Amino acid sequence: MKLFILVTRLILGGLFFGHGAQKLFGWFGGYGPDGTGGFFESLGLRPGRQHAMTAGAAEAGGGALLAAGLATPAAAAAITGVMSTAIHTVHRPNGPWVTDNGWEYPAVIIGTVLTIAEAGPGPVSLDAALGTERKGPGWALAALIAGVGGAAVLLRDWERPEPEPEPEPEPEAAPAAGQPA
Q: Where are the domains of the chain?
A: 3-154
CA–CA distances in Å: residue 4 to residues 1, 9, 75, 111, 133: 9, 8, 18, 15, 17
pLDDT tens digits for range 99-147: 999 999 999 999 999 999 999 999 999 999 999 999 999 999 999 999 9
Query: Residue 141 has what pLDDT?
Result: 98
Mean of per-residue pLDDT scores for the chain: 92
* Whole-angstrom distance, CA of residue 171 vs CA of residue 139: 63
Task: Name 169's Cβ contacts closer than 8 Å, sequence gap at least 6.
Answer: none
- Give CA–CA dist 13/127, Å, rounded: 15
pLDDT band at 63; cut points 50, 70, 90: very high
